[in-house]
Structure 1
Amino acid sequence: MKKKKTLTIHDLARELNYSASTISRALKNHKSISKKTTQLIQKAAKEQGYRPNSIAASLRKNKSKTIGVLVPKISRPFGSNLISGIETEARKKGFNVIISQSNDSITNEIANSKALFDSRVGGIIASLSMETQNTDHFNQFVDQDIPVVFVDRVPKDFPSYHVIIDNYTAAYRATEHLIEQGCKRIAHFAGSQHINVYSERRRGYVDALKKYNLPVDEELIIYMNSLSFEEGQQYTEVLYNLASPPDGIFSSNDTAAVSAIIYLKKSGYKIPEDVAIIGFNDDPISSIVEPPLSTVYHPAQKMGELSTRRILEHSVNEGTEIAKEISVMDTHLILRASSLRKSTHID
């Protein structure tokens, strides 16, 4: 005889058209859920034979003073600086940190999130992989009232804390700077558009061109898989084989921008006289390349510190509602020789 499938809160969520976190809280008589909704959910659960997993619940209550961290790549400066901020803040309060990386793979991200959940972390800080479009694997944390903080690359809709920068405004200002330096045909190195940071940077770039009555030429918008050094060189060659190549480049990261500088210099172009270039992140390489790369300051360490404080605040006030709360941190342009054709005031 076939064994009957155990009913889960996810089954109830689909049946009743509520989120799994709402179902979980209603079954616990959480004050954040209205009395009417709680009664409706509890009645449906009883009628359908729902039984809580008491063993799993007892294990989850035994959460450790450990924060799980899931980043795309530890080797990149943003990831390492983010982790530095997390560890600094966590250790002040006696918390440990478990670090894992997805290598921009959704398969790895799902496996790593399960491993962190099974380790009974007291909270998780995550920046999504390039491939991530569905974030259901993070529901397991919310279902057990474990706080989730998404940082930098964040999902559009998820009941959790978000720590981000204003990518749109930063990109607008970067593009505007190139326009102020006299650029008329500005290319953009873009990342995957389902990722918030790259779609917002593209939007800022496009709106700056429109504001200054410059054409938006799709031929000059290059979509890359990982914005790697190799992709940067490959697509810079494509751009400068066009009949009308660009006179400026705004790159969504510093790695691809630096590779463009190196390729163009080898090809006989002068930077910034022939091509003005600005990147994003202020990675260490941006100040080492010649000429030094203009870029956008990205406060990775401060984002890590704030993300950790959100986790710690929830651990002190355990049982409070995990709402979608967005914190936006400041950025600014760092102007260097790669884009400065004119004497420019630097904020």
Structure 2
Amino acid sequence: MKQNSEVTIYDIAKKLNLATSTISRGLKGHHTISKKTIERIKKAAVEMGYRPNNLAASLRGNKMKTIGVLLPTVTQPFLSSLISGIEITAQKAGYTVLIMQSHDSYKEEINLTQSLYDNRVSGVICSLAMETKDTSHFKKFIDNDTPLVFVDRVPKDFDTFHVVIDNFSAGYKATKHLISQGCKRIAHITAGFKFSIYYERKEGYLKALKEHNLPIEEELVVKVNAISYEEAEKACRRLMSLENPPDGIFAPGDILGVSAIQVAKKLGIKVPEQLAVIGFNNDPISYIIDPNLSTISHPASKMGRTSAEIILKNIKQSSKKDEIMKQITYLNTEVLIRESSKRS
């Protein structure tokens, strides 16, 4: 048996074979829990030596004022801008920001969510790791009435706040732009699992091809293990070594688009005359590379501000909801046409 101070609602839930949300509400005498179940829960709590965490309660009352931010990395320009938007908004409201990196590891993400929970943060903003399929490790925040916002990389089956762009539409627009420039054989680099943001961008790419009766060939869609220059370089060399290479590439990340341009240069392929390229995010590198990289704008800072505003609003309301509803906020994107895809 744990020491009294270490007994949690998870221990009680395990003992009684009940959901942690039921235990939490039962301890508070919530009207949605039957009197019989409330008595059972409170009896077990006394027997096990459970004591409410007053620190957590005070944090929910806005006394510590810390927002936890869990991201795949902080080195990508998009995520750096996202953090900036979060911090500016949080600091204006008197909150500090605790930033953690999963490095796209599912196992590390689980460990870090527990760390954020143990640190009694007032709210959590998360962009999922590339490896993540199951998101049950985030349920503890909902059970503890801690506001939770998923941003950019979000789960499909978790009812909470989401701040996203329409990745399907963005992938469609990027591909349609290449088609408008005369591309007939368009390749795509993809990543992640089904229903990830990269899957949705690929689906938009496929829709644009179908609408214009262009070939959809397995060899033109290459999956990478990470959104990195090295992975993209291997993918692009593979594409350009095909017997019938592509005349356009939609890369769902600017670093991937930059790699495509540089591989083309090394192989003596002219961009955009022989190979038109469009990226995604509008990172600083997109307008430094020669030729400048066409891209899809991704409102990173605004996504950060919006996520923080949702957290702050729900901390202030501090209302215990009987039912958590999924609320999705969509932000706009646009095609930024530059030299890498603009044909005369």
What TM-score comes out, normalization by structure 2 length?
Answer: 0.89
Please say if residues 88 and 305 of structure 1, whose CA atoms lie closer than 8 Å, have aligned partners that are also in contact. Answer: yes
Return closer, same or farther for 1:10/1:196 CA change in 2, 3 Å cut-off.
farther
* Partner residue in 1 for 2:337: 335
1:196 matched to 2:192:
no
Letter in 1 for 2:40: K
Q: Is the deviation greater in 56-65 or in 297-306?
A: 56-65
* Separation in structure 1 between the aligned mates of residue 333 and residue 15 of structure 2, nearest angstrom: 43
Q: Is the deviation greater in 212-221 or in 120-129?
A: 212-221
1:43 matched to 2:37:
yes
Deviation at 1:301, TM superposition (A): 0.5
SS in 2 for 1:55: coil
Counterparts of 1:1-347 in structure 2, within 5 Å, are: 8=11, 11=14, 20-21=20-21, 24-25=24-25, 28-30=28-30, 38-39=33-34, 43=37, 46=40, 50-51=44-45, 54-63=50-59, 64-194=64-194, 196-321=196-321, 322-342=324-344
RMSD across aligned C-alpha pairs, in angstroms? 2.5
Deviation at 1:39, TM superposition (A): 2.0
* Separation in structure 2 between the aligned mates of residue 183 and residue 237 of structure 1, nearest angstrom: 19
Letter in 1 for 2:34: Q
* Separation in structure 1 between the aligned mates of residue 157 and residue 114 of structure 2, nearest angstrom: 21
* Separation in structure 2 between the aligned mates of residue 122 and residue 47 of structure 1, nearest angstrom: 26
SS in 2 for 1:188: strand
* Separation in structure 1 between the aligned mates of residue 42 and residue 92 of structure 2, nearest angstrom: 47
Seq. identity, %: 48
Please say if residues 149 and 163 of structure 2, whose CA atoms lie closer than 8 Å, have aligned partners that are also in contact. Answer: yes
Deviation at 1:46, TM superposition (A): 1.6
Deviation at 1:142, TM superposition (A): 1.2
Deviation at 1:54, TM superposition (A): 4.5
What TM-score comes out, normalization by structure 1 length?
Answer: 0.88
Aligned pair count?
A: 331
Please say if residues 9 and 24 of structure 1, whose CA atoms lie closer than 8 Å, have aligned partners that are also in contact. Answer: no
* Separation in structure 1 between the aligned mates of residue 40 and residue 106 of structure 2, nearest angstrom: 36
Question: Which stretches in structure 2 are left out of the alignment for 5+ residues?
Answer: 2-6
1:114-136 Cα distance to aligned partner (Å, 9 max, x none):
11111111001000011111112
Please say if residues 279 and 294 of structure 2, whose CA atoms lie closer than 8 Å, have aligned partners that are also in contact. Answer: yes
1:175-217 Cα distance to aligned partner (Å, 9 max, x none):
0000111111111010112352111101100111111111211
Question: Which stretches in structure 1 are left out of the alignment for 5+ residues?
Answer: 343-347
Return closer, same or farther for 1:205/1:22 CA change in 2, 3 Å cut-off.
farther
Deviation at 1:56, TM superposition (A): 4.8
SS in 2 for 1:97: strand
Please say if residues 86 and 304 of structure 2, whose CA atoms lie closer than 8 Å, have aligned partners that are also in contact. Answer: yes
Please say if residues 149 and 161 of structure 2, whose CA atoms lie closer than 8 Å, have aligned partners that are also in contact. Answer: yes
